[in-house]
Each structure stands twice: as C-alpha cells, then as structure tokens.
Amino acid sequence: MTTAGQTTSISGRSTDTPGRFLVTARGNHFVSDARTGPGEAVQAGELLLASLASCSLSNIQLHAQERESGLTGGQAQVSYERDPEDPTRYACIRLELRLSGVTQEEAEALTGLFTDSCPIYNTLRRGGNVQIAVRTEAPAPASSVPTGRARAV
C-alpha cells in the first residue's frame, strides 16, 4: 500500500511490434497497445479509466468495512469523451457506481468518502504536476548488431 509522500513507479518499454508496449508494475507484466497499434490489448486511455474504477471500488469497499455498512458488492462504469476542440485531452470523464447491500444514502456517503480520499480521482479532478525527463541512449555499434548471417571465422 502506498502512503502519503511515498513514490510509486512502473516501467514500460516498446516491443518489436509497432504500437505495442510491455508495462511492468511490481513484477506484474501486461501488454498495452497504442490507439494506432494492433488494437488487441488494452490502450492507455483505458488504463487510465481502469485505475479510476479500481481505486473507486477498493476505496469504497474499505470505507464500507470500516463503517460496517453491509456493502455486498460494487460495480464501476468509467468512460471518457475526447474533447472535440482539443484531441490532446478528455473533455469529460464519467464514473457511474452501482453499490449493492446499502441504502442510497449510505452509497452517497461512501462515495463522498471515496472522493475525499482517492488520489487518482483527485488528481484527475484537480489536475496534477506532471514532470518529464528524457535522455538518449547510444545505439549499439554496427559490429554488434545482429544481421541474421553467420560470421566467417
């Protein structure tokens, strides 16, 4: 579990398939495709939505257990709408929660506790500081690049 002030990181790398990437988080590996890639694996925008769905449900479940509220299940449907005037951003992200075993009043209270405490929700809602660092790596020397031909000895 990540606590305040703690840094969490994941890594990603390109693969030999254009538009396909391998992402690693805490030893778990999964494939992600670009919108213009093969289209078989989850895409980056979907991962963003998935993180909000997962965080909302886990946060609500935790608060429900603390309150002994009787929550028996939850579902999250998350979608985005790309901004028609600026395709580099989402105009809107929608989160629809369906909670079972609690009253509407308790569901709203649990949702309020989630929105008060979820870092993913609050970063999306308020925006956050994104820092980028880039560096290059020297290409491998030509003599060490495999050509597919056997070398004469």
* Residues 6 or more apart whose Cβ sits within 8 Å of residue 75: 57, 97, 98
Q: How would you write the pLDDT of the chain (153 residues) with one tens digit per residue?
A: 566 778 999 999 999 999 999 999 999 999 999 999 999 999 999 999 999 999 999 999 999 999 999 999 999 999 999 999 999 999 999 999 999 999 999 999 999 999 999 999 999 999 989 999 999 988 877 665 555 554 454
Distance CA 105, CA 108 (A): 5
Cα radius of gyration rounded to whole Å, the chain: 21
Domains of the chain: 11-40 (no CATH), 43-127 (3.30.300.20)
* Residues 6 or more apart whose Cβ sits within 8 Å of residue 149: none
